[in-house]
A = this chain, B = another copy of it.
Amino acid sequence: MSDIDMIRAARARIGDNLRRTPLLSAPALDDIAGRRVLLKAECLQITGSFKARGGWSAVSAIAPEIRARGVIAFSSGNHAQGVAHAAREHGVPAVILMPKDAPRAKIDGTRALGAEVVLFDREQDDRDAMGAELAQARGLTLIKPFDDALVIAGQGTLGLELAAQAASRGIAEAEVLVCCGGGGLTSGVALALEADAPGLRARSCEPEGFDDVARSLAAGEICRNDRLSGSICDAIVTPQPGNLTFPILKRLCGPGLVVTEDEVLRAMALAFRHLRVVIEPGGAVSLAAALFHPEALGSDTVIAVATGGNVDPALYARALETLPETMA
């Protein structure tokens, strides 16, 4: 079970190996939201997402003689790069199983981090069997994307960082909006804030149609999504909250927030214009909630965590078209 001590230990293992991402703001965003909005720009993290934290936490916690054999992960995106980065920096091999139809840039990006990418066919191959065979044959340790205490602890380091940043600005009360897939980041941040900034409360944010966490929180028990594809917010589409993460979410987070895809695209464009950071759709759900859902918010200050910035340029261009006018 994850707890604050595990999060502090993860922070110590991470040390200066990852970035302390900035808290940004702009008067224009405050005007839109009708309250003070701060953006935790985690899209500027190494590998472009918070997944570098959980990856480092998990890889660094493996006993050296086991770790030397290598690690393995399944991912078509941010978790792949987080684990690949941590493995490379620890000087151990990483094997990442990616679907053949994963974005070329993400495959290249994972390879550029030194990982061995094994491609599988979503239709024909049994991904889990392939992974188990590889892990068995080579003695690789599996790093799960969210339902793992060490991964949750790593993501929780973002919460410790945020608690300190809020304190240095004199912010004692705020809602902290977190883009939520399986709940690894949201639950880790919630635990960290409970300990270090009890006036700050983590809340999950999801896109419409993939709101398993919001429905689970409302029902008091784990609910599944009907669909698993068809969202622009691919990075945070998961079947259901995790068995480790949900009890934490249930205890510490209020009702979940849900936004539309149009709101997500507009939030990406407003971050481009007013904060000059690139946010991917799955990472902009939180900012969309902060800007466009005043009815669901209760605090004078909201902190939106922009969880990632790895986005297809064509989709990004589409987001920019939502800006009311061009500057040319």
Q: Which residues of A contact B (CB under 8 A)?
A: 19, 22, 24, 27-28, 31, 41, 43-44, 48, 103-106, 109, 112-113, 269, 272-273, 275-279, 309-317, 320-321, 323, 325-328
Contact = CB atoms under 8 A, between A and B. Distances in A.
B309 A313 contact: no
Nearest to A313: B320
Nearest to A43: B276
Nearest to A276: B309
A143 to B, nearest CB: 20
So how many copies of this chain end up in the complex?
Answer: 2
Given A312-B328, A313-B321, 6 more contacts: A106-B327, A278-B278, A313-B320, A314-B327, A316-B317, A317-B320
7 contacts: A43-B276, A48-B276, A104-B325, A105-B323, A105-B325, A105-B326, A106-B327
Contacts of A321: 313
Contact of A328 (B44, B48, B273, B314): B314
Contacts of A19: 22
B28 A112 contact: yes
A179 to B, nearest CB: 15
Contact of A316 (B22, B44, B312, B320): B320
Contacts of A314: 320, 326-328
Contacts of A328: 103, 312, 314-315
Q: Which of A44, A105, A327 is the most central at the interface, judged by chain B CB atoms within 10 Å of its CB?
A: A327
Given A19-B22, A22-B19, A325-B105, A276 B278 contact: yes
Contacts of A44: 22, 24, 41, 275-277
